[in-house]
C-alpha cells in the first residue's frame, strides 16, 4: 500500500502516560514543517467513532511538552471492538479526508489499530504510550521513565518514616502483569526485596530474609511489590509477615495512579518527541500499519500483531543484580 499523505489524525487511547503530550506536539510540529495538516481525535477510538476531530496547528501545542496526561483525552471504547463501531470510525475519518492515523497507547490501542487496518485502507502508525513498558518492539515506552522516578521519589520519603518508626513497608507499584517498573524501582530505591511477576521469588524467601534482618536487629526496610506478582498483593504480604513476625511493624503503601501523573521526565520528553517526529516521517516514506519504537537508540518497526502477542522479557542480569544488592 502506498498513498499520498496530506492529512494525519492523532489519538491517545487506553491509560494515560506522561509524555503523551510531547508526542502529540512532535507530530503536529513535524507535520506542519512538512506542509501536512494534523487533526486531533478527542477521547481515542470513542472520539473517532463520534467524529470528534479538531484541526491542530503549532500554536495549539505550545507549552504542552511539560504537561502530564493527554490534551486529547483518552477513553476505552467497547464499541470499537465491533465491526459496526469500526465502520462508524472509518466514515468519520473519510468525512475529514484523513489519510493516516497515529495512535499512541498500549496493547489495547495496537489491537484496535490492527483490526481496523485489516478492514480499511487508512493506514496507522502506533507509538508505545504506557507506563508499564510491556510493549514488544521498543526498549522503552513513553511514560515509563517518569513512572519509575515517581515511585522512587515516593519510596525515598517512605523510607524516612520507616526508619523513624522501625517499620517494614510493603510498597506496591503499578505495571499490570509485567515487572519492569518494580524491577527498576527496587534497584533504584535500594529495596530489601522485590516481588516480580516474572520470578518465583516468594513469601518463603522473604521469611528467610526477615529472619536474618531480625538477628541483626534491623526491623525497618522497604519491600517493593509489583501489582501483578504471583505471591499476593502488598496488603496480603504484609498480613502474612504480621502473622509470622509480630515484632515487625508492617505497613502498606500503594503508590497507584500517582505514577501516571505529573510532568514527564526529560528522558520521556525526548523519547516522545523522537517517536512523534519519526512517525510522521515514516508515513511520508510509505511505512504503514506498524508499531514504532526505539531499540538500542535506533528506529525500529514491528507488525502490530507482533507488538501485541510477543512477550517483552525482563533483563535477567538486572534481576540477578537486584538479588545481590538486596542482600
What residues pair up with 173 in beta bridges, in sequence order? 226
The alpha helices in the chain, defined as continuous H runs, are 20-33, 44-50, 83-95, 107-119, 144-165, 180-189, 203-215, 234-244, 266-284, 304-309, 316-326
- 132 given a catalytic annotation: yes
As a whole number of angstroms, the distance between CA 43 and CA 146 comes to 23
CB 202 within 8 A of CB 241: no
Widest pairwise Cα distance in the chain: 71
- Torsions phi, psi of 228, nearest 5? -100, 15
As a whole number of angstroms, the distance between CA 221 and CA 31 comes to 50
CB 191: neighbour CB atoms within 10 A?
Answer: 24
Active site residue: 60, 97, 121, 132, which one? 132
3-state percent helix, strand, coil for the chain, nearest multiple of 5: 45, 20, 35
> Going by DSSP bridges, is the β-strand pair 249-254/298-303 parallel, antiparallel, or unpaired?
unpaired
CB 162: neighbour CB atoms within 10 A?
Answer: 21
- Torsions phi, psi of 127, nearest 5? -115, 135
As a whole number of angstroms, the distance between CA 291 and CA 306 comes to 9
Catalytic residues: 132
Amino acid at each position: 500500500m502506498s498513498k499520498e499523505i496530506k492529512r494525519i489524525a492523532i489519538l491517545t487511547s487506553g491509560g494515560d502516560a506522561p509524555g503523551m503530550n510531547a508526542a502529540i506536539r512532535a507530530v503536529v510540529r513535524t507535520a506542519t514543517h512538512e506542509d501536512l495538516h494534523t487533526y486531533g481525535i478527542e477521547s481515542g477510538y470513542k472520539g473517532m467513532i463520534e467524529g470528534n476531530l479538531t484541526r491542530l496547528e503549532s500554536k495549539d501545542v505550545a507549552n504542552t511538552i511539560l504537561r502530564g496526561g493527554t490534551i486529547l483525552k483518552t477513553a476505552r471504547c467497547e464499541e470499537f471492538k465491533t465491526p459496526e463501531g469500526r465502520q462508524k470510525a472509518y466514515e468519520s475519518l473519510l468525512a475529514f479526508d484523513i489519510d493516516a492515523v497515529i495512535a499512541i497507547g498500549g496493547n489495547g490501542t495496537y489491537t484496535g489499530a490492527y483490526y481496523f487496518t485489516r478492514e480499511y485502507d487508512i493506514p496507522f502508525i502506533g507509538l508505545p504510550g504506557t507506563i508499564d513498558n510491556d510493549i514488544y518492539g521498543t526498549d522503552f515506552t513513553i511514560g515509563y521513565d517518569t513512572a519509575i522516578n515517581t515511585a522512587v521519589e515516593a519510596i525515598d520519603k517512605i523510607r524516612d518514616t520507616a526508619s523513624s518508626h522501625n517499620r517494614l513497608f510493603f510498597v506496591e507499584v503499578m505495571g499490570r502483569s509485567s515487572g519492569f517498573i518494580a524491577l527498576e524501582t527496587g534497584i533504584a530505591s535500594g529495596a530489601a526485596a522485590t516481588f516480580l511477576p516474572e520470578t518465583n521469588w516468594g513469601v518463603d524467601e522473604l521469611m528467610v530474609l526477615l529472619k536474618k534482618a531480625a538477628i541483626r536487629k534491623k526491623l525497618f526496610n522497604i519491600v517493593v511489590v509489583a501489582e501483578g506478582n504471583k505471591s499476593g498483593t502488598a496488603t496480603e504480604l504484609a498480613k502474612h509477615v504480621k502473622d509470622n513476625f509480630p515484632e515487625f511493624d508492617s505497613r502498606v503503601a500503594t503508590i497507584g495512579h500517582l505514577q501516571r501523573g505529573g510532568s514527564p521526565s526529560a528522558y520521556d520528553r525526548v523519547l516522545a518527541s523522537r517517536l512523534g517526529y519519526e512517525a510522521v516521517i515514516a508515513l511520508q516514506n510509505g511505512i504503514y500499519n506498524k508499531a514504532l519504537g526505539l531499540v538500542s537508540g535506533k528506529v525500529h518497526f514491528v507488525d502490530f500483531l507482533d507488538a501485541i502477542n510477543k512477550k517483552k522479557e525482563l533483563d535477567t542480569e538486572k534481576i540477578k543484580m537486584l538479588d545481590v544488592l538486596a542482600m
